[in-house]
């Protein structure tokens, strides 16, 4: 495997001792895999020392049916350095029964709604988030729709929603 | 919907702290059906007289599980769904989606396709900015500008119809190419659109840009500083109006943009007026790009050679030869399709609204394992509750309009 050229390689190896096994790349995407316990420190280091001042996206992937998967949920942080245009993808993995991650809200305010969406869709809780509520699904909804064990057509929620008739209203 | 106003985010609460025990505050439900939201979203506004103290967005009315649907549709089929995300610039979404898929598969599209997609992407930028500046002026009471601009959108619909047979949700792009090659008639339509556009633009520019009422309603309203724009992950015209010099067309060139000459429009105001100016000037840059690209469309095939089995064969082959038909079936039938690497990729394009990215995880089957869309509307709307407190109720529509919130993309 060829050496990965990225400004964060040296930074993270100095600060956290990351070796080449943590890094991978696919075309122009450079990715680093981080333990879920250390993800906040790594993100903080990347923001303050690495210059990654924009959090482009946070998303999740449920790896329940993914080939050769070892963990349940992958959480993906896409970072961007707006002055150099360099991107970095930070991957971390969390598992059942209580998938939990520290919130990135203290670092980037943009994380607010992104984390709410990941919580809404995958049920991953972010500790330290100021307002972790469902955002797209209704408040009464109890399941996490983008998990792979949730069926495409739902579990009948659509037909069992409480209905207020004109007479009751 | 049971909703307590006490469920507010800590940050917004702190700003409203001084009003916490004031009994005269009243609550206004703005939406979900309101002409100025243009789409279905709800704002719970706490007002002190006409002044907004607190705004809590409540979204999800149009949530239809697009990302879940992606897991059940193949890479070509899903284009019909991405169309419906940002329906003001449907083809820009298709281009972003197939840009990501082609990056995943490692397909390099043909030069002709690059130019055609560039022209379409810029037409879609006009499409979006025309409606956005038109309706934000409409919300502020300037009806005429909206009509001038909407008439231009009709012409873009015609161009879209000429290329794909559909005016609105055209589902035009395919993996490795587009549905049909463009014709001379299409090129002529694009040329004639370019000839007429500048006059209309000048006319609307004269109606709005130095209009006393329009400036009073937009200048200094909804100010977003450069640091906040970066911290809130803003991209596109919203970030550029706050002084973030970033445009993926220049920074991470894709399609035919490296060959073409254009400027990135930036300003430092950060208010609604600055966003209006950025969009107005971007339209002129887009027209410049289209004029350059349409005169330089390379000849040659529009689709990548379908021998690679990932690309659909030409339609006339499908209808007129048995080999073409078999090939078509091989690509589209369940359990056939094309192989994908067991990999993930994030790829983004500069959509009219900002960075529209797709994070695709493929699991070697013909359907995406997960297709995450990074929707710029969603990210920009998260800024709204932070910039609106202290403004008048009537400024809510100005800020909403200038952030260009499209609920179908917001909720997906």
Q: Give the chain A residue whose CA is nearest to the CA of B243.
A: A82
pLDDT (0 to 100) of residue A153: 85
- A55 contacts on B by Cβ (under 8 Å): 233
pLDDT at A16 over 90: no
Mind listing the pLDDT tens digit for each residue in A84-99?
888 999 999 998 888 9
At residue B244, the 3 state secondary structure works out as: coil
> Cβ separation of A62 and B363 shorter than 8 Å?
no
- B382 contacts on A by Cβ (under 8 Å): 110, 112-113
Kind of pairing, strands A73-80 and A54-62? antiparallel
- A56 contacts on B by Cβ (under 8 Å): 233, 235, 348, 355, 357, 374
Mean pLDDT of A92-111: 89
**Tokens standing for residue B178:** 């587009």
pLDDT in tens, chain B (412 residues): 444 444 444 445 555 566 666 677 888 888 787 777 777 888 888 888 888 888 888 888 888 889 889 888 888 888 899 888 888 888 999 999 999 999 988 888 899 999 999 999 999 999 999 998 988 888 888 888 888 888 889 999 999 999 888 888 888 888 888 888 888 999 999 999 999 999 999 999 988 888 898 898 888 888 999 988 999 999 999 999 998 888 899 888 888 899 899 999 999 888 999 999 999 999 999 999 999 999 999 988 888 876 666 778 777 888 888 888 888 888 888 777 777 888 899 999 999 988 999 999 998 888 889 999 999 989 999 999 999 888 888 888 888 888 888 888 888 8
pLDDT (0 to 100) of residue A78: 92
Residue A61 contacts B where some CB pair is shorter than 8 Å: yes
pLDDT (0 to 100) of residue B77: 86
Q: Give the chain B residue whose CA is nearest to the CA of A144.
A: B68
pLDDT band with cut points at 50, 70 and 90 for residue A28: confident
| Option in A54, A67, A135 nearest B363 (CB) | A67
Taking each helix axis from N to C end, the angle separating B111-139 and B393-403, rounded to the nearest 10 degrees, works out to 170
Query: Distance (Å, rounded) from C-alpha B305 to C-alpha A6?
Result: 35
pLDDT: which is higher, A14 or B224: B224
pLDDT (0 to 100) of residue A119: 92
| Option in A59, A108, A135 nearest B231 (CB) | A108
Q: Are A136 and A161 in contact (CB under 8 A)?
A: no
* Predicted-complex ipTM score: 0.90
Length reported for chain B = 412
pLDDT band with cut points at 50, 70 and 90 for residue A58: very high
- A61 contacts on B by Cβ (under 8 Å): 344, 361, 369-370, 372
Residue B27 contacts A where some CB pair is shorter than 8 Å: no
Query: Distance (Å, rounded) from C-alpha B190 to C-alpha B20?
Result: 57
Query: Distance (Å, rounded) from C-alpha B40 to C-alpha B32?
Result: 5
Class of domain B66-374: mainly alpha
Query: Distance (Å, rounded) from C-alpha B82 to C-alpha B70?
Result: 9
In Å, how far are A59, B86, B144, B291, B333 from B82, measured between CA atoms? 18, 8, 32, 27, 21
In this complex, how many residue pairs, one in chain A and one in chain B, have their CB atoms less than 8 Å apart?
117
pLDDT (0 to 100) of residue B361: 92
Provide the percentage of residues in chain A whose pLDDT is more than 70.
99
Domains of chain A, earliest start first: 7-159 (3.30.460.80)
Residue A109 contacts B where some CB pair is shorter than 8 Å: yes
Per-position DSSP letters for A55-114, written without gaps between them: EEEEEEEE-TTSTT--SSEEEEEEEE-TTT--EEEEEEEE-SSS-EEE-STTT-TTHHHH
> Cβ separation of B60 and A62 shorter than 8 Å?
no
pLDDT (0 to 100) of residue B122: 92
pTM of the entire predicted model: 0.89
Q: Of chain B residues 338-367, which have a CB less than 8 A from chain A?
A: 342-346, 348, 355, 357, 359, 361, 363-364
pLDDT at A162 over 80: no
Residue A115 contacts B where some CB pair is shorter than 8 Å: no
- Calculate the average pLDDT of chain A: 86
Domain ranges of chain B: 10-58, 66-374
> Cβ separation of B345 and A59 shorter than 8 Å?
no
- B230 contacts on A by Cβ (under 8 Å): 53-54, 82
> Cβ separation of B372 and A109 shorter than 8 Å?
no
**Tokens standing for residue B2:** 């049971």
- B228 contacts on A by Cβ (under 8 Å): 109
pLDDT (0 to 100) of residue B20: 60
| Option in B10, B345, B359 nearest A57 (CB) | B359
Distance from CA of A153 to the nearest CA of B (A): 10
> Cβ separation of B374 and A56 shorter than 8 Å?
yes
């Amino acid at each position: 495997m060829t050496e990965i050229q990225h400004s964060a390689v040296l930074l993270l190896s100095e600060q956290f001792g990351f070796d080449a096994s943590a890094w991978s790349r696919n075309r122009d995407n450079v990715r680093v895999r981080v333990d879920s316990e250390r993800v906040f420190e790594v993100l903080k280091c990347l923001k303050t020392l690495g210059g990654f001042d924009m959090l482009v996206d946070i998303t999740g992937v449920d790896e329940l049916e993914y080939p050769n998967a070892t963990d349940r949920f992958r959480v993906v942080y896409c970072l961007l350095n707006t002055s150099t245009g360099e991107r970095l993808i930070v991957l971390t993995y969390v598992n059942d029964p209580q998938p939990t991650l520290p919130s990135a809200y203290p670092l980037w305010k943009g994380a607010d709604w992104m984390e709410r969406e990941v919580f809404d869709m995958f049920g991953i809780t972010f500790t330290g988030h100021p307002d972790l509520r469902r955002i797209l699904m209704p408040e009464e909804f109890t399941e996490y729709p983008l998990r792979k064990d949730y069926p495409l057509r739902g579990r009948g929620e659509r037909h069992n929603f409480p209905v207020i008739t004109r007479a009751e209203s | 919907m049971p909703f307590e106003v006490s469920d507010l985010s800590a940050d917004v609460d702190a700003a409203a702290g001084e009003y916490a025990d004031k009994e005269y505050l009243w609550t206004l439900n703005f939406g979900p059906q309101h002409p100025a939201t243009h789409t279905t979203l709800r704002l719970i506004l706490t007002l002190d007289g006409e002044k907004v103290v607190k705004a809590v967005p409540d979204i999800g009315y149009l949530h239809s599980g697009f990302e879940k649907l992606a897991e059940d549709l193949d890479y070509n089929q899903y284009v019909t769904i991405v169309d419906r995300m940002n329906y003001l610039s449907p083809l820009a979404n298709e281009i972003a989606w197939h840009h990501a898929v082609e990056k995943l598969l490692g397909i390099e599209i043909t030069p002709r396709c690059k130019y055609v997609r560039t022209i379409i992407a810029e037409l879609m930028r006009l499409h979006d900015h025309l409606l956005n500046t038109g309706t934000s002026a409409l919300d502020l009471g300037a009806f005429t500008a909206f009509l001038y601009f909407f008439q231009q959108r009709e012409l873009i619909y015609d161009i879209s119809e000429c290329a794909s047979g559909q005016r609105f949700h055209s589902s035009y792009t395919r993996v490795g190419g587009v549905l049909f090659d463009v014709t001379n008639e299409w090129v002529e339509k694009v040329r004639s659109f370019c000839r007429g556009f500048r006059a209309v633009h000048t006319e609307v520019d004269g109606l709005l840009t130095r209009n006393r009422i329009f400036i009073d309603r937009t200048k200094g309203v909804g100010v977003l500083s450069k640091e906040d724009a970066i911290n809130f992950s803003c991209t596109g015209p919203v970030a550029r109006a706050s002084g973030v010099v970033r445009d993926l067309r220049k920074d991470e060139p894709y399609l035919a943009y490296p060959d073409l000459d254009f400027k990135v429009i930036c300003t430092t105001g950060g208010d609604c007026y600055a966003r209006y100016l950025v969009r107005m000037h971007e339209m002129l840059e887009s027209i410049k790009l289209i004029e350059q690209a349409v005169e330089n469309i390379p000849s040659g095939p529009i689709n990548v050679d379908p021998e690679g089995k990932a690309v659909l064969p030409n339609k006339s082959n499908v209808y007129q030869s048995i080999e073409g038909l078999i090939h078509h079936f091989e690509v589209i039938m369940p359990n056939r399709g094309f192989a994908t690497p067991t990999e993930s990729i994030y790829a983004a394009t500069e959509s009219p609204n900002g960075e529209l990215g797709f994070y695709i995880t493929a699991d070697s089957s013909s359907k995406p394992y997960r297709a995450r869309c990074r929707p710029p509307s969603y990210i920009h709307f998260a800024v709204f509750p932070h910039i609106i407190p202290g403004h008048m109720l009537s400024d809510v529509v100005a800020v909403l309009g200038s952030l260009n919130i499209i609920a179908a993309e917001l909720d997906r």
